[in-house]
Amino acid sequence: MLLKICNVTFAYNSVDVLKNITFEAKEGEILGILGPNGAGKTTLLKCIFRALIPKHGVILLDGTDIKKFSQRELAKNMAVVMQEDIVAPFTVLETILMGRYPHLESPFKILDVSSSKFIEEIINMLELGKLLDRGLNEISGGERRRVHIARALVQQPKVLLLDEPTVHLDLNYQLFIMEIIKRYTISKRIITIATFHDLSLAVRFCDKVILMKNGIIFAAGKPEEVITPENIESVYNVRIKVIKEDGKILAVVPLEITRRRL
C-alpha cells in the first residue's frame, strides 16, 4: 500500500503555505514530518485527509486519487488525531466508539457487534479501561490525547495521521504511546504519518522523515541522513549535538540559538 503526495501546493488567502510537496509513504512505516512552527506541517496533514483542498497537486492512495473518494469513504481508510484539544460532553467510551462511525452504515445504528472484541483490545492496550465512564471534561489533556488515539485506532484505518501525538504526555506515556503506534503500524501494516516537535522521539521511532521549512521539503530520507547539525541549524537556527550509539542516533540535544528569528 502506498500513499503518494505529488506536487501538492496549498494557498491560504493567496499566500502559498505549501509549495510543490512531493513524497511517498509506505505501509508498515512511520513517516515523521518535522519543521519549525509555521512550516506547514499541520496544513500538509490536513490536505492528506482532505480537511483542506490543495490548489494544485494530487494525492494518491494505492493509485487512486483521493478526490474520488467521498468524505465517508476516505474516513474508512484514514484516521486522524489532531492537536486541538476540544472538550465535548461525551464519555470516554462514547468518544472511542465514534471511531466506528465511518463504518456504521445507518445513522441510527449505535454499535456493530462484530467490532466489540478488537475495541476492547485497543482500550486495554491504551490502558483506558478505568476511565471509560468519565466525561471528557473530567480527565487530563494527556488522557484525552490517549482517548483520541484509541478512537483513531478503532477506526481501523489504513492510514493513521497524527499531529503532535506526544504533546501533553508525560515521559512515560510519550514512549508508551509511540511504542504502541509503532507496534500497531508494523503488525497491521498501516501507513502512519506524524508531525513532531521532539526530534529525539522522531529519530527514535520514525522510519523516514521529511524536514520542512517555509512550505517546502528541505530534506527527506532516513532520520540519520536528515537530522544533521547542518540541516537543523539551517531550518531551526539552533545548534545541536547528535548523540549516537552503534551508528544509531540516540538523542538530539539542542545547544543554542544561532540566529534570532524575525
Partner 1 sequence: MVLEVYREKLRRRMFFLVLLIGIFFLSIFLGISIGCVDIPLNTVWEIIFNHYSENRVYLVIIWEIRIPRVLIAAFVGAALAVSGCLIQSILRNPLASPYVLGLSSGAAFGAALLVALDLWLIIPIPLSAFVFSIIAFLITYRIALEDGRLPISSLILAGMAVAAFFSAMTSFMMYLAGEKLEVIVFWLMGGLYGLSWEELKVVMIGITPLLILSLFLGKDLNAMMLGDDVAKSLGVEVDKIRKLTIVIVSLMVAICVAYTGPIGFVGLMVPHMVRFLIGSDNRFLIPASIFFGGSFLVLTDLLARTLMRPAEIPIGIITSLFGVPFFIYLLKRRKGLMKYAA
Residues contributing to the site for partner 1 (CB under 8 A): 46, 49-51, 70-76, 78-80, 82, 84, 86, 88-91, 93-95, 97-99, 101-102, 104, 107-108, 110-111, 116, 119-120, 123, 129, 132-133, 148, 155, 161
Provide, rounded to whole angstroms, the least separation between the CB of residue 111 and partner 1.
7
Provide, rounded to whole angstroms, the least separation between the CB of residue 260 and partner 1.
32
The cell 479501561 sits on which residue? 129
All three cell numbers of 189:
501494516
Q: How many CA atoms lie within 13 A of 143 on its CB side?
A: 17
**Beta pairing partners, 59:** 5
Provide, rounded to whole angstroms, the least separation between the CB of residue 216 and partner 1.
23
Q: Which is nearer to partner 1, 185 or 200 (CB)?
A: 185
Q: Which is nearer to partner 1, 108 or 247 (CB)?
A: 108
**Helix/strand/coil for 156:** coil
**Helix/strand/coil for 76:** helix
Q: Which is nearer to partner 1, 167 or 251 (CB)?
A: 167
Phi and psi for 84 in degrees, rounded to 5? -55, 130
Provide, rounded to whole angstroms, the least separation between the CB of residue 3 and partner 1.
15
Provide, rounded to whole angstroms, the least separation between the CB of residue 64 and partner 1.
17
Q: Which is nearer to partner 1, 33 or 119 (CB)?
A: 119
Q: Which is nearer to partner 1, 70 or 187 (CB)?
A: 70
Cα 138 to chain centroid, rounded? 25
Phi and psi for 74 in degrees, rounded to 5? -60, -40
Q: How many CA atoms lie within 13 A of 199 on its CB side?
A: 27
